[in-house]
Amino acid sequence: MELTAEELAENLALVQEKVKQAAERAGRDEKDVMLLPVSKTKPVEDMRVLMEKGIHAFGENYVQEIREKYETLGDSVEWHMIGHLQRNKVKYIIDKVAMIHSVDTIELAEQIEKEAVKHGTQMDVLMEVNIAAEETKWGFTADEAMTAAAKIGELPHVHLKGLMTSAPITEDPETNRKYFAALRELAGKIGDQHFDNVSMDTLSMGMTQDYETAIEEGATIVRVGTAIFGKRDYHQ
């Protein structure tokens, strides 16, 4: 464990306080904002410290890591897949995760449908939108999102609950405010269409660098890793 249990608990409390204050600033109920700690590359022991503090849901990026951690923690936590997901790996997580935030193609949604049927389950998903149109990022463009939502809505075992984005890397969260606002507006437009099997109540946006701004702009899930768990080492 890189951080001590005390440090982890302190970090969590600090982030929770900032979440609360950002919600207050925006005139929102803090209960409408879910803090999703992102535990990728971090050990199960760190997750347990947070579980003792009342956290029951975690974001993870890698299928293999979910499978390994699931061996230990099983369904005692709610797993959220937030990383890019290859179609051929859906089968490994379909019976483990509560939500897939990172649906970035229709083909992936169709694969989730297929595996959900096979496992006799349903899956809540978000559409990942590359809202800043960055060349390096996964996700639907804002222009593709409407048509994609209609198509995903046709899949009976896949329930589209909203949108997710990762805003550009920045030192100044204010520069991302317009992207968070744009994602909220896009969700509003899609929601107005009342597609079958589609709701747009969930906005997964904001990370360590910008979660307070994201909350001010309507985030219902903020995905925070570094501010809670400390820096990640990808070379272990």
Ligand X SMILES: *Cc1c(COP(=O)(O)O)cnc(C)c1O
| Beta carbon of residue 117, minimum distance to ligand X (angstroms, whole number) | 27
The binder of ligand X chosen from 23, 152, 203, 224 (CB under 6 A): 224
Dihedral of CA 201/87/76/3: which sign? Answer: negative
Residue sitting closest to ligand X (CB): 225
Residue type, 230: G
Question: By C-alpha distance, which of 163, 87, 169, 171 is closest to 136?
Answer: 169
In the DSSP assignment, the letter for residue 169 is: P
* Residue 16 in the binding site for ligand X (CB under 6 A): no
* Residue 103 in the binding site for ligand X (CB under 6 A): no
* Residue 208 in the binding site for ligand X (CB under 6 A): yes
3-state DSSP call for residue 140?
Answer: strand
Rounded (10°) CA dihedral 38, 43, 46, 47: 50
| Beta carbon of residue 140, minimum distance to ligand X (angstroms, whole number) | 15
The binder of ligand X chosen from 83, 168, 191, 230 (CB under 6 A): 83
* Residue 207 in the binding site for ligand X (CB under 6 A): yes
Considering only 62-70, 115-123, 171-179, 203-211, which stretch makes contact with ligand X by CB under 6 A?
203-211
| Beta carbon of residue 196, minimum distance to ligand X (angstroms, whole number) | 28
* Residue 176 in the binding site for ligand X (CB under 6 A): no
3-state DSSP call for residue 131?
Answer: coil
| Beta carbon of residue 7, minimum distance to ligand X (angstroms, whole number) | 16
Using CB under 6 A, count the residues that bind ligand X: 13
In the DSSP assignment, the letter for residue 38 is: B
Q: What tokens does 113 get?
A: 């449908």
Distance of CA 213 to the CA centre of its chain: 16
Q: Where would I find the beta strands (DSSP E) of 78-227?
A: 78-81, 97-103, 123-128, 158-164, 198-204, 221-224
Q: Are residues 22 and 211 in contact, defined by beta-carbon separation less than 8 angstroms?
A: yes
The binder of ligand X chosen from 111, 166, 176, 202 (CB under 6 A): 166
The binder of ligand X chosen from 19, 23, 33, 38 (CB under 6 A): 38
List contacts with ligand X (CB under 6 A): 38, 40, 61, 82-83, 166, 207-209, 223-226
